[in-house]
A = this chain, B = another copy of it.
Amino acid sequence: MKELEERIRRDGVVKPENVLKVDSFLNHQMDVELFRKMAEEWKRLFTNEKINKILTIEASGIGIACIAAEYFHVPVVFAKKAVNVNIDGEVYSSQIESFTKKRIYNVVVSKKFLNPEDNILIIDDFLANGCAVMGLIEIIQEAGATLSGVGIAIEKGFQIGGKLLRESGIHVESLAIVDGMNPESGEIYFRSQP
């Protein structure tokens, strides 16, 4: 998606250790006008998929998932990063490792909000090693629901996540795929997509 790539080039900051900061428009300050265009694009890319629910993970997936949900006319469920007193009853859970936070945590979804009839689109801001998405897929499988696709804002194409997911037959659509970054020059190389 050209507009997202241009925005990443303009406002993204390349840091050492393959960190790409996009906190001025995607995951700390959020440009909802851009989110609308991203949502339109996901709607176009997943138009042939059956989707009745969007699943994301707190916190930075929630904004883009909610705007996407307006275009798909479905509810959003977000996986929570810890069990707390507001999630009673039973939950589906999995463990994921955060690339940027370098720690492992549990993610949970109340069993009330996922069921075998659901056809689910996962939405998240980043795809790198794929841990967060794999965790959400585990939860979908636990629930006996169907995964219809995975919509990602920015994929780090030089990490393994996207390749693993696509090779297992999952319909993955990343709006921008970064194949390399140069922390010294700040250059970002995008994979060309149809």
> What is the interface of chain A, defined by CB distance below 8 A to chain B?
15, 19, 21, 23-25, 27-33, 35-36, 58-59, 62-63, 65-67, 69-70, 73, 75-78, 80, 84-88, 100-102, 109-110, 112-113
Dominant SS at the A interface?
A: mixed
**Among B29, B76, B102, which residue has its beta carbon within 8 angstroms of that of A75?**
B29
- Are A86 and B21 closer than 8 Å at their CB atoms? yes
Please name the 7 residue pairs, one residue from A and one from B, whose CB atoms are nearest each other, closest first.
A58-B59, A63-B66, A62-B62, A59-B59, A32-B69, A29-B113, A30-B76
Nearest-neighbour CB distance to chain B for A100, whole angstroms, equals 5
- Are B67 and A70 closer than 8 Å at their CB atoms? yes
